[in-house]
Structure 1
Amino acid sequence: MPSAAERTRTLVQSTSSAVLLLPGPWLARPEQLMPEERSVGPDGEVLLVYPVDSPAVRAATHAHDDELPVVLEITDVAPVSVPNRIRGRAWVSGWLTSVRGVAEPGRMLLRLEVGEARVDDLWGTGMVDAEGFVAASPDPLVEHEVELLQHLHSAHGDQVRQLCGLAGDRAAGTKAVPLALDRFGLRVRFSGGADGRVFDARFDFREPVRDVVGLRRAMHELFEAAAH
Structure 2
Amino acid sequence: MPSAAERTRTLVQSTCSAVLLVPGLSVIHPDQLMPDSRSVGPEGDLFLGFPAQSPVVRAATRAQGDELTAVLEITDVAPVSVPHRIRGRARIAGWLTAVPGLAQPGRMMLRLETGEASVDDLWGFEEVEPEDFRDAVADPLADHEAELLQHLHSAHGDRMATLSALLGDRAECGCAEQRPAAVPVALDRFGLRVRFIEGGSACFDARFEFPDPVRDVTGLRRAMHTLFEAASC
Per the TM superposition, whether the score is higher than 0.5 is yes
- Residue 6 (structure 1) aligns with: 6
Q: Distance in 2 between matches of 1:164 and 1:130?
A: 40
Q: What letter is aligned with 1:209?
A: V
Residue matched to 1:48: 48
State how far apart, in whole Å, the 2-side matches of 1:166 and 1:70 are.
Answer: 45
Counterpart residue number, 1:74 = 74
Question: Structure 1: how far apart are the matches of 2:64 and 2:43?
Answer: 24
Contact 2:75 2:88 in 1 (8 A): yes
Provide the C-alpha distance between the structure 1 equivalents of 2:66 and 2:42, rounded to a whole number of angstroms.
21
Match of 1:140 in 2: 140
**Alpha-carbon offset, residue 76 of structure 1:** 0.1
More divergent stretch after superposition (113-122 vs 159-168) = 159-168
Provide the residue aligned with 1:177 in structure 2. 183
Provide Cα deviations, 1:6-52, integer angstroms capped at 9, x if missing partner.
11001101111100011114334321101111111122111110111
Instruction: Give the match's secondary structure for 1:153.
Output: helix
| Amino acid in structure 1 at the alignment position of 2:130 | A
Distance in 1 (alpha carbons) for counterparts of 2:201 and 2:110: 47
- Residue 199 (1) aligns with residue 204 (2): yes
Aligned-pair Cα RMSD in Å: 1.4
Does 2:208 correspond to 1:220?
Answer: no
Q: How many pairs are equivalent?
A: 227
1:35 aligns with 2:35: yes
CA contact (8 A) 2:185 2:195 kept: yes
Match of 1:211 in 2: 216
Amino acid at match of 1:130: P
Structure 1 gap ranges (5+): none
Shift of 1:67: 4.0
Q: Partners of 2:201 and 2:107 in 1: how far apart?
A: 49
Tell me the percent identity. 68
Aligned mates of 1:30, 1:169 — CA distance in 2: 47
Listed one character per residue, the Cα deviations across residues 91-135 of structure 1 (whole Å, up to 9, x for unaligned) are 000111111112111111111110110110000110011111101
Residues 1:153 and 1:23: Cα distance change in structure 2 (over 3 Å): same
Matching of residue 91 in structure 1 with residue 97 in structure 2:
no
CA offsets per residue over residues 121-151 of structure 1, 9 Å max, x none?
A: 0001100111111011111111110111111
Call closer, same or farther: CA 1:48–1:133 in 2, change over 3 Å.
same
Higher mean alpha-carbon deviation, 70-79 vs 22-31, is at 22-31
**What is residue 15 of structure 1 aligned with on the other side?**
15
Asked if the contact 1:159–1:223 (Cα under 8 Å) also holds between the matched residues in 2, the reply is: yes
Q: 1:27 to 1:210 in 2, by over 3 A?
A: same
Q: Does 2:64 match 1:64?
A: yes
Provide structure 2 residue ranges, at least 5 long, that are not aligned to the other structure: 172-177
Q: Does the Cα contact within 8 Å between 2:65 and 2:97 map onto a contact in 1?
A: no
